[in-house]
Amino acid sequence: MQTILVILLVAAMGATVFFLVRGIVQFLRTTEADLKGEGPNQSARLQNRAMQGRIAMQAIAVVIVVLLLLLMGR
């Protein structure tokens, strides 16, 4: 069981890095027109989606760490 959780933890950590890099790349693609436009634009939506994905993957990783700690305590 611990082996499966460790594999899932590594996968969640990898997904977190993926979403982090994806958000940074989207941030770097932001143009001056995007910044001066009114309301949310496509670039802002993509950055927000990447941030939400990163937060979700971090939450999953934290839950897996808690489960691992509980299993090791037995």
pLDDT over 80 at 2, yes or no:
yes
Position 58: which residue type?
Q
Model pTM above 0.85: no
Q: How many domains does the chain have?
A: 1
- Write the DSSP string, 44-71: HHHHHHHHHHHHHHHHHHHHHHHHHHHH
What domain range is 28 assigned to?
2-72
Looking at residue 42, its pLDDT comes to 84
* Helix/strand number for the chain, H first, E second: 3, 0
Which one, of 52, 42, 50, lies nearest residue 22 by Cα? 50
pLDDT tens string 7-59: 999 999 999 999 999 999 998 988 777 777 777 788 888 899 999 999 999 99
Q: How far apart are CA 58 and CA 15, in angstroms?
A: 9
